[in-house]
Chain A
Amino acid sequence: QSALTQPASVSGSPGQSITISCTGTSTDVENYNLVSWYQHHPGKAPKLMIYDVTKRPSGVSNRFSGSKSGNTASLTISGLQTEDEADYYCCSFAGSSTFVLFGGGTKLTVL
């Protein structure tokens, strides 16, 4: 059960766009359109931002979008705002044996 692979950190300036990648394998990300993304501000509960690769829950800004190509899913945040600074985690269903995997997390810094 290896975690999905994310970059440890990314950064951007207000107004810019950034993309966070999430690399899995043929048994998780590539095999299922069941990837989600969570935003986590330290000390608070994680928040669902994207599910089923591209879907946005009600109330989540349309500046957040998701995509997938092969075994890599991506989260793009456009028009960066200071409040976007947080840790971001991807998550994928990985079959009935492993069930669920999280990525190692990416710290987003808005400069």
Chain B
Amino acid sequence: DVKLAESGGGLVKPGGSLRLSCEASGVTFSSSSMTWVRLAPGRGLEWVSYITSGSHYTYYADSVRGRFTISRDNTKNLLYLQMNSLKAEDTGIYYCARDLGQYGHLLDCWGQGTLVTVST
């Protein structure tokens, strides 16, 4: 079975930083493009960022570009999301997901999510 497990969430003050991790098992991680999606209170699912299998291409939502950085370590089956200059509106559950296609919309496997709360 394919499994994804996020970690690294928590409570952080506005302006602070967090690094989320997503560990993959049971999947050929190194050949999979990966995505971060968040579920914000009252706002539904929001696509955050995407990285191709070999890290050649990365994409970001306008709302996080310049503050968040997606990366991966294929030797450790790990996906990361470095989040800097956090704002209250970044609060939510962050999910990592595998994209079976090349366009970020075919997310066939999701983790259970990790909660990020940005508050004073």
Contact = CB atoms under 8 A, between A and B. Distances in A.
B62 A1 contact: yes
B95 A92 contact: no
Contacts of A48: 106-108
Contact of B45 (A51, A92, A105): A105
A64 interface: no
B108 A34 contact: no
A102 B44 contact: yes
Contacts of A32: 103
B45 A36 contact: no
B46 A102 contact: yes
Interface residues of A, number: 30
B112 interface: yes
B94 interface: no
Contacts, number: 76
Interface in B53-105: 59, 61-63, 95, 97, 100-101, 103-105
Interface in A35-58: 35-36, 38, 40, 44-48, 51-52, 57
B62 to A, nearest CB: 5
Contacts of B50: 99-100
B107 A102 contact: no
A46 to B, nearest CB: 5
A105 B37 CA distance: 14
A46 B95 contact: yes
Nearest to A40: B45
B47 A46 contact: no
A34 B111 CA distance: 22
Given A1-B61, A93-B103, A100-B50, A46 B110 contact: yes
The 7 closest A-B pairs by CB, nearest first: A105-B44, A45-B110, A93-B103, A100-B104, A100-B47, A99-B59, A102-B45
